Amino acid sequence: MARRPCSLLFLLAVLIATTPLAAAQTSCAHRAFTAGSGRVYAACSDLEELNASVHWTHHAGNGTADIAFRLPAAHAAGSWAAWAINPSAVGMIGANALLAYHDPSTGAVSVVTAVIDSYAPLVVADSTTNLTFAVYSRGAEYAGGAYAIHATIQLPGNSTRQNIVWQVGSTSSNGLPDTHQTYGDNVMSSRSWDFSSGNATVVVPKSTEGDNAYEAILRRKNIHGVLNALSWGALFPLGVILARYMRVFPSLDPAWFYLHVACQCSGYVIGAVGWGLGLTLGNKGALYSYHRNIGIALFPLATLQVFALLIRPKKTVKVRFYWNLYHWSVGYTVVILSVLNVFKGIDILQPDQKYKHGYVGVVLVLAMVAFVLEVFTLTVRFKKGGKGSG
């Protein structure tokens, strides 16, 4: 009876138990915030664009927040970095920014405030523009190849959810902040951010020059996500469930086999397209490497499964037992890694929460079906008196 290498049910249970439902990202925590500043924040999160991270402490009692952004900028003297809260809109126009750069006259890091009112704003060096919300303190440092810009502010509207924007650019020959790149990460660095939970939603700025690039990349990411959640994240596990439980019933033989093959093959074709699309999204550094490496490992494993089908020995041959062992272990590995990677991808893409909940629902339904069928088929096999199957 114990011929199965492992129990799908058990594995799914482990999977669900180890999958964080809240999008808590803690990988930023290992980095000391800034050298010697002594500032400690209650929470932090890595931001995928521009390798930035946001650190904050929210004081619910008076609606203030201590906020800091860490923004890598390779060339100290020739660069600036900024973060902003935009109380009126998504994107750049209306953003209330704190901008840090190396003052060309002193060489020291200087931080200025500015309300961005155009796509070519004039951020003057001695800017003392008042922001539309109170800024109680502000400062900036440059260390380890990154700017750290911190401030204590009154959250506009006493709301914990704010539109945040961050940006890095180069300075012009006179040392003053110049424009930033208008493609890639530089047009995608914006979120709707909840400073009480760290719950982020990707928001697309409307009608700016850079938006087409932003929307095009976001669209590709979304298609990649949908294709892969459907194939790797749903069809593959469904195909495994079909194979595992339907074949317990002799009357369903060979129907289970064709259903299993149909599921895995369509999953493989859709998954290959989604996988290829994922590769074109490029490597965005450490934050992505986990998702990317699992993804890269998954495709050869799945390919192996499809080709294993072609070389499968006859049921009567003894070597079939080893083929089965191999096929099952690779299959379960693929399913577990796939589901994990879909969750990882959802955390990267940060879509509206309903998509995450939707996928959690799909996994729970599959797990529940597997659980019921596991109990049911165990009972059937038990009644048969251990005649076995497979």
Ligand X SMILES: *[C@@H]1O[C@H](CO)[C@@H](O)[C@H](O)[C@H]1NC(C)=O
Feature table: binding site for heme b: 224, 260, 291, 327
Are 117 and 195 a contacting pair, CB within 8 Å? no
Site for ligand X in 88-147 (CB under 6 A): 130, 136
Of 34, 162, 190, 199, the one binding ligand X by CB under 6 A: 199
Q: Which residues are annotated as a binding site?
A: 224, 260, 291, 327
3-state helix, strand, coil in the chain (%, to 5): 45, 20, 35
Q: How far apart are CA 157 and CA 320, in angstroms?
A: 67
Q: Which is nearer to ligand X, 63 or 139 (CB)?
A: 63
DSSP 128: B
Q: How far apart are CA 56 and CA 321, in angstroms?
A: 56
Of 2, 99, 81, 16, the residue nearest 370 (C-alpha): 16
Of 127, 132, 170, 197, the one binding ligand X by CB under 6 A: 197
Shortest CB 317 distance to ligand X, Å:
50
Print the binding letters for residues 38-77 with ligand X: x by CB under 6 A, - otherwise: ------------xx-------xxxxxx-------x-----
158: left (phi over 0), alpha (psi -120 to 50) or beta: left
Q: How far apart are CA 327 and CA 260, in angstroms?
A: 13
Shortest CB 275 distance to ligand X, Å:
22
Does 285 interact with ligand X (rule: CB under 6 A)? yes
Q: In which element (H, E) is residue 373 found?
A: helix 353-383
Q: Which is nearer to ligand X, 5 or 282 (CB)?
A: 282
Q: Would you call 277 helix, strand, or coil by DSSP?
A: helix
Shortest CB 228 distance to ligand X, Å:
23
Phi, psi (deg, nearest 5) at residue 168 = -135, 140
Shortest CB 23 distance to ligand X, Å:
8
Of 46, 48, 141, 185, the one binding ligand X by CB under 6 A: 185
Shortest CB 197 distance to ligand X, Å:
5
Q: In which element (H, E) is residue 14 found?
A: helix 8-18
Shortest CB 209 distance to ligand X, Å:
20
Print the binding letters for residues 243-282 with ligand X: x by CB under 6 A, - otherwise: ----------------------------------------
Query: CA 375, 377, 380, 382: dihedral to nearest 10 degrees?
Result: -70
CA separation, residue 359 to residues 11, 14, 173 (Å)? 17, 17, 51
Q: Interacting stretch for ligand X, rule CB under 6 A, among 38-46, 108-116, 195-203, 271-279? A: 195-203
Residues that bind ligand X (CB under 6 A): 50-51, 59-64, 72, 130, 136, 158, 185, 197, 199, 201, 285-286, 353
